[in-house]
Amino acid sequence: MSTDYTLETIQVSLSAQDRFAEYLQSRGMRNTGQRRRLVEHVFSTHEHFDADNLIEKLPRKGEAGYVSRPTVYRTLNELVDAGLLRKFELAGRAVYEHDYGYPQHDHLYCQECQQLFEFQSQALIELRDSVAKDHRFRVTGHRLIISGVCEECSRSRQRKKRRQDLI
Out of 11, 141, 157, 160, the only residue in the binding site for a second copy (CB under 8 A) is: 141
Out of 138, 157, 160, 161, the only residue in the binding site for a second copy (CB under 8 A) is: 138
Told to check if 166 binds a second copy by CB under 8 A, we report yes
- On the CB side of 25, CA atoms within 13 Å amount to 6
Q: Which does 70 bind (CB under 5 to 8 A by kind): a second copy, DNA, none?
A: DNA
Nearest of 98, 90, 75 to residue 23 by alpha carbon: 75
Told to check if 2 binds a second copy by CB under 8 A, we report no
Out of 3, 17, 51, 128, the only residue in the binding site for DNA (CB under 7 A) is: 51
CB 12 within 8 A of CB 6: no
Q: How far apart are CA 22 and CA 151, in angstroms?
A: 42
Nearest of 18, 162, 154 to residue 82 by alpha carbon: 18
Q: How far apart are CA 43 and CA 17, in angstroms?
A: 9
Burial (CB count within 10 angstroms: exposed 0-12, middle 13-18, buried 19+), residue 58: middle
Write down the least CB distance from residue 49 to a second copy, Å.
16
Q: Which of residues 60-79 bind a second copy (CB under 8 A)?
A: 77
Out of 143, 157, 159, 161, the only residue in the binding site for a second copy (CB under 8 A) is: 143
Told to check if 74 binds DNA by CB under 7 A, we report yes
Q: Where along the sequence are the contacts to a second copy (CB under 8 A)?
A: 77, 80-81, 87-89, 92, 94, 108, 110-111, 117, 119, 121, 123-124, 127-128, 131-132, 134-151, 154, 164, 166-167
